[in-house]
């Protein structure tokens, strides 16, 4: 990835790393459809120990299972959208933001628009049904029903949000010269810290993702239990590395190990490994070697299950 040199406003120069892309902020909210269950209600239901009641802060659903199913449809879209974005982006050290390389911006925007439309269709089903959902709950659980817990249709619609925005990530520009000099220098330093954090987070995400997959393949080769899913998962990871992460991982040793894995996995499938004992042994030995080497990559923090 080509990197431009940008002359800093404070007189020095710095590498404008991670400049060929944008930050993405994704916000998806939904109605929780829950209410606190006060202690008087718990006592009415048979729990009378005063000391125990004082320790309980119970939350209950205010919808029947059928009503919850509608909300779960929205929750599924929310989780899938967030999961897709986080899997196809570079981690960023500020909560709520991820970094998207330029090559991924249009694809991400199109994907989020599609999921937003699906989410809106679900909202358009939930909102007109709120009165029926309320009456169903009142009929089924009269001892728990509280009309004050239910929003109007207009209020309910405002409780659902599905929005995203793209933000520029760049060193503090001339506009920030309105800041006192000391604060401006602190902002420049924070930018550099964010860059370093992005590098560290990307290194850890890539290293651990590769390690988990390679470790599985190594063990399967040794036990003659190679699975198509494992091989395909490695290939998918390698494709994503080329498309998304390759310009952002600056650890030479990890890049070299990924290159080695590519060489052994190119044109390889599970049936070949299962059918050829000698080939499976060679690949398994190489994967085992890579597992050991990944664990020594400088700066890589292993997940607990991968620690030596």
Question: What does the pLDDT profile of the chain (308 residues) look like in tens digits?
Answer: 333 333 333 333 334 557 789 999 999 999 999 987 666 665 665 655 555 555 556 678 999 998 999 999 999 999 999 999 999 999 999 999 999 998 899 999 999 999 999 999 999 999 999 999 999 999 999 988 999 999 999 999 999 999 999 998 887 776 677 778 888 888 889 888 998 999 999 999 999 999 999 999 999 999 999 999 999 999 999 999 998 998 888 899 999 999 999 999 999 999 999 999 999 999 999 999 999 999 999 999 988 755 43
| pTM of the complete model | 0.81
Domain ranges of the chain: 16-167, 175-306
Q: Is the dihedral of CA 98, 103, 109, 115 positive or negative?
A: negative
Contacts of 153 (CB under 8 A, 6+ apart): 127, 128, 130
pLDDT on residue 55: 55
pLDDT on residue 247: 83
Q: Which DSSP string do the residues of 69-107 spell out, in sequence order?
A: HHHHHHHHHHHHHHHHHHHTSEE-SSTTEEEEEGGGHHH
Q: What is the DSSP letter of 8?
A: -
Alpha-carbon span 165 to 172, nearest angstrom? 20
pLDDT on residue 259: 95
Q: Check if the beta carbon of residue 41 is closer than 8 Å to that of residue 97.
A: no
């Amino acid at each position: 990835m080509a990197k431009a040199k940008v002359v800093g406003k404070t007189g020095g120069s710095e590498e404008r790393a991670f400049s060929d892309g944008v930050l993405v902020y994704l916000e998806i909210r939904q109605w929780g459809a829950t209410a606190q269950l006060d202690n008087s209600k718990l006592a009415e239901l048979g729990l009378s120990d005063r000391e125990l009641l004082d320790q309980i802060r119970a939350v209950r659903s205010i919808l029947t299972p059928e009503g919850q199913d509608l909300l779960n449809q929205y929750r599924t879209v929310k989780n899938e959208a967030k999961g897709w974005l986080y899997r196809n982006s570079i981690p960023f050290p500020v909560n709520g933001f991820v970094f998207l390389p330029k090559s991924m911006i249009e694809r991400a925007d199109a994907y989020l628009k599609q999921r937003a439309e699906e989410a809106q269709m679900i909202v358009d089903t939930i909102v007109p049904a709120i009165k029926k959902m309320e009456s169903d709950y009142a009929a089924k659980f009269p001892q728990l029903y509280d009309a004050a817990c239910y929003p109007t249709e207009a209020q309910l619609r405002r409780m659902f949000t599905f929005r995203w925005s793209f933000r520029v990530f760049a060193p503090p520009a001339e506009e920030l010269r309105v800041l006192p000099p000391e604060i401006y220098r602190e902002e420049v330093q924070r930018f550099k810290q964010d860059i370093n954090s992005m590098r560290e987070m990307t290194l850890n995400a890539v290293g651990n993702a590769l390690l988990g997959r390679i470790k599985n393949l190594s063990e399967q080769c040794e036990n003659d239990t190679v699975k198509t899913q494992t091989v395909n998962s490695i290939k998918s990871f390698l494709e994503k590395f080329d498309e998304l992460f390759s310009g952002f991982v600056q650890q030479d040793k990890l890049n070299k190990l990924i290159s080695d894995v590519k060489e052994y996995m190119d044109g390889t499938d599970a049936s070949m490994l299962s059918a050829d004992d000698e080939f499976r042994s060679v690949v398994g030995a190489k994967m085992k070697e890579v597992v050991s080497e990944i664990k020594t990559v400088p700066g890589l923090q292993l997940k607990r299950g991968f620690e030596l």
